[in-house]
Amino acid sequence: MTSAASPPEVLRAPLVVEFPFTRSLGPVQSAFLTGLRERVVLGVRTSDGKVMVPPVEYDPVTAEEIRDLVEVGTTGTVTTWAWNGSPRPSQPLATSFAWVLVRLDGADTAILHALDAPGPEAVRTGMRVRVRWAEERTGAITDIACFEPHDGPASEGAAPHDGRFAGAVTGIVAAARLDYTYSPGRSQTAYINALAERRTVGERCPSCHKVYVPPRGACPTCGVATTDHVEVGPAGTVTTYCIVNIKAKNLDIEVPYVYAHIALDGADLALHGRIGGIPYDQVRMGLRVEPVWTEGGRHPDHYRPTGEPDADYDAYKELI
């Protein structure tokens, strides 16, 4: 890895990625998750008579479609386990617990879930457990709050079930949130820091001498690091543009507005920016513009006309 001098201060910022994927369920998954809501555990029987819990819609061995639902017990046997001494956010229990694979009575395969137990000494492979239902159930795997130790008798084997319930669950929302601390690296840190001083700094390729703005640290033509810093602009030329008629969420800009590619003077790549200070229908290719910073802003808020004559097409045609 490079040992080249790094900037003493690398920018960092929180980055939160959240996605509530909405997923539809097939008939078997729908019956299984609806069943959990009704405190019923369903499995599916394969053509060779094995009962799979949780159920799948295609046999993993033959790829045959399987739809033969059966009800299995809510008690079962631990087939393997692992003691989770420090639960992570979003896991089923907030206090120490065991991850377990449980083969429910009547099933031939095991389901993964949490086991509420006082400590690792209380858990062993082969121990008997039962489902602890969540108080509020919606048709999701979390309708099983966890498993708990169980001393009672085993349930009966698998019994046929038609899989029909009133108000079947047909989809789930798979919510997820991941937290990152994003660092943009050497090149983009230098660019962003310069912008905060109201300067636009690109990087020149040592091989082809093109100046990239914003720089990403590499020349995509030569595949080498761009290390020479070059101040460009502040003025530039509109090379192309579009008129935006869709109001963006959380963006306090009236539509229509113009979004443009702007080739800053001295740069060999156009960057993006909003054009202001001129009616949207008067923006044109070749228009000369300059950045407008707002108080405390770390980057230009928009670009406005400089009042200079338009640039010749030949002066910017390579940058469109």
Counting residues that bind another protein (by CB under 8 A) gives: 70
Least distance (Å) between residue 224 CB and another protein:
8
Decide: is 138 part of the binding site for Zn ion (CB under 5 A).
Answer: no
Binding mask 32-61 for another protein (x = CB under 8 A): -x------------------xxx-x---xx
- Asked whether 51 and 157 are in contact (CB, 8 A), the reply is no
DSSP string, 183-242: --HHHHHHHHHHHHTT-EEEEE-TTT--EESS--SB-TTT-SB--EEEEE-SSEEEEEEE
- Bridge partner list, 66: none
Which residue of 90, 95, 245, 250 would you call a contact of another protein, by CB under 8 A? 90
Both tokens of 76, joined, read: 């079962």
Instruction: Specify the stretch interacting with another protein by CB under 8 A; choose among 62-70, 186-194, 236-244, 277-285.
Output: 186-194
Plot region of 245 (φ>0 → left; ψ -120 to 50 → alpha; else → beta):
alpha
Site residues (CB under 5 A) for Zn ion, limited to 213-242: 219, 221-222
Nearest partner of 155 among 37, 40, 67, judged by Cα? 40
Site residues (CB under 8 A) for another protein, limited to 204-233: 216-225
DSSP state of 86: S
Instruction: Specify the stretch interacting with Zn ion by CB under 5 A; choose among 96-104, 106-114, 202-210, 280-288.
Output: 202-210
- Asked whether 103 and 76 are in contact (CB, 8 A), the reply is yes
> Applying CB under 8 A, which residues contact another protein?
1-2, 6-7, 10, 12, 15, 17, 21, 23, 25, 29, 33, 52-54, 56, 60-61, 79-85, 88-92, 99, 101, 103, 109-114, 120, 125, 140-142, 172, 174, 176, 178-189, 216-225
